[in-house]
Amino acid sequence: MAKHKRVSFSEQNLVLDEIDQYYRNIEASTRFYFSLSNPNADELFAGRAKTEIEYELEIISKENEHLVALNLLASVEAAFRVDYLQRCYKRKKDSLSLALRAIHVTKGNHASLDDDIFTAWKENTSSSNSIVSDLKGAFKYRHWLAHGRYWEPKLGRKYDYFSVFTLAQTVFNSFPFEGANA
């Protein structure tokens, strides 16, 4: 294990409350921009039907959801990776930590979230197949977002801000993570 360089934690990873606050701000700003309360509405939307403006608002809101969902999933990934490294650095001896430590011997900081870390959680904890499969599915969605959405994704589920936040809250409420300061 010693051959892999130890990661210095930045402590800059965003927490769910901060991401949600950002989402609320951006969503409220967008809705205000497209509303008649916007002092520039007459100029901005001259000659356009209400339905057209609503349609444009819907498209932009959807985009906001995608972008913030990407951030939510990045936060979930950070939690799993910090936990992975901490269990290795602290040489913890429970079955999950031992499985993660075995992965660390060969892969160090480059363990695969899906194939290595999620699988270790599935095999060494009481986490159900369903939460692990929800996570794997959500990270396919993240992969699609992060790599430019150029292919037709086979995601299986519908993803929006609310469903991704629900998953993130389930993870942070339920998984006994070793945090950066643990």
Chain positions contacting another protein, by CB under 8 A: 16-17, 20-21, 23, 94-98, 123-128, 131, 134, 137-138, 154-167, 169-170, 173-176
Radius of gyration of the chain (CA): 20
Q: Is 164 exposed, middle or buried (0-12, 13-18, 19+ CB in 10 A)?
A: buried
| CA 131 – CA 174 distance, rounded (Å) | 10
We find the least distance from the C-beta atom of residue 128 to another protein, in angstroms, to be 7
Two tokens at 7? Answer: 């990661």
We find the least distance from the C-beta atom of residue 4 to another protein, in angstroms, to be 23
We find the least distance from the C-beta atom of residue 39 to another protein, in angstroms, to be 20
| Cβ proximity to another protein, 106 vs 128, nearer residue | 128
Name the residue with tokens 């060969």.
106
33-42 long-range contacts, Cβ below 8 Å, gap at least 24? 34/60
CA 138 to chain centre: 8
| Cβ proximity to another protein, 108 vs 137, nearer residue | 137
| Cβ proximity to another protein, 106 vs 174, nearer residue | 174
We find the least distance from the C-beta atom of residue 168 to another protein, in angstroms, to be 9
Instruction: Give the dihedral sign, CA 111/13/133/156.
Output: negative
| Cβ proximity to another protein, 8 vs 173, nearer residue | 173
Two tokens at 144? Answer: 């699609």
| Cβ proximity to another protein, 7 vs 20, nearer residue | 20
We find the least distance from the C-beta atom of residue 3 to another protein, in angstroms, to be 26
CA angle 26, 29, 30 (to 5 degrees): 85
